[in-house]
Amino acid sequence: MTDQTIAGALVLGVLEGLTEFIPVSSTGHILLAGHFLGFKSTGKAFEVLIQLGAILAILSIYAVRLWKMLIDLPRDRDTQRFVLGILLAFLPAAIIGVLAYKVIKTVLFETPLLICVMLILGGFVLLWVDRWASKPRYTDVTKFSLPMYFTIGLIQCLSMIPGTSRSGATIVGGLLLGADKRSAAEFSFFLAMPTMTGAFAYDLYKNFDILSTADIEIIAIGFVAAFVAALLVVRWLLGYVSQHGYALFGWWRLIVGIAGLAALFVWG
């Protein structure tokens, strides 16, 4: 394990944590950064497995609320309905993720040009939705309709194309379906928990036999870096989007996507 590899893992881990919960595509960012840094991971497992660090960050922040939900679940109908909504939203990604796993990892993850294009397209969509969003019908993440939860889950499946953004797809879906900016972001947090945990578990299962001790050490470095960075972002994000919306992230996507295309043209 070289110093360059350790530095690359730290950079990519921090990048994962900073971008996982904002609508700019963490996977797109770390795949592009890894491409230009010359960072290689066995089976592209690093890019998926370090997401658990970001998930543990949000679990720690929401620990009290999640514990209360667990206690209330057997007897409280509102809690039961919200948990059902999360499961409905998770179901499409679970099915499509398993069926399309090979294509996602061997084709889509290996196409930097596609990532740049999706960053740019997603930036335009985010800017449009941020300005278009009409008066919201939902301000409480637990009060969405069951069809709305499921529809957001369907929209989330677009994020299997790197550069689209899981949080971006779910936030845009929530806004289009009547959520306000804060509750759209908050549901993206809740949906991330089963989605990213499932992706972690399935990717670990698929790659366990080919991972070496060195791979695990590099993943551990990225995991810790992602955890620390994600803690900072999650605590900040809800307050920011409530006041300022998502335009900043739309412009960021355009800048990164265009810069990525230029870099690919110059350096390949």
pLDDT bin (cut points 50, 70, 90) of residue 176 is very high
The number of domains in the chain is 1
Overall average pLDDT of the 195-201 stretch: 91
With pLDDT > 90 as the criterion, what percentage of the chain qualifies? 62
Cβ-contact 172, 30 below 8 angstroms: no
pLDDT higher than threshold 80 for residue 153: yes
Nearest to 220 by CA among 41, 60, 43, 64: 41
pLDDT for 249 equals 94
Residue 31: how many other CB atoms lie within 10 Å: 23
* Average pLDDT for the chain: 90
Q: Which domain holds residue 148?
A: 3-267
pLDDT bin (cut points 50, 70, 90) of residue 214 is confident
- Lowest average pLDDT, out of 61-75, 200-214, 242-256, goes to 200-214
pLDDT for 215 equals 86
Overall average pLDDT of the 170-176 stretch: 93
User: What residue type is assigned to position 179 of the chain?
Assistant: A
How wide is the angle at C-alpha 18 spanned by C-alphas 44 and 26, nearest 5°?
A: 35
pLDDT bin (cut points 50, 70, 90) of residue 207 is confident
Task: Give the relative orientation of helices 213-244 and 181-207 as an angle to the nearest 10 degrees.
Answer: 170
pLDDT bin (cut points 50, 70, 90) of residue 209 is confident
Sign of CA dihedral 106, 110, 111, 117: positive
Beta bridge partners of 138: 179
Output the CA–CA distances (angstroms, integers) from residue 130 to 173, 182, 188, in the order listed.
Answer: 12, 12, 16
User: What residue type is assigned to position 107 of the chain?
Assistant: V
- What residues have CB less than 8 Å from 187, skipping those under 6 apart? 89, 141, 144, 152, 170, 174, 179
- Give the CA count within 13 Å in the CB-facing half-sphere of 195: 29
Overall average pLDDT of the 154-160 stretch: 94
* Dihedral pair phi/psi, residue 107, rounded to 5°: -115, -60
pLDDT for 147 equals 96
- pLDDT, greater one: 91 or 238: 91
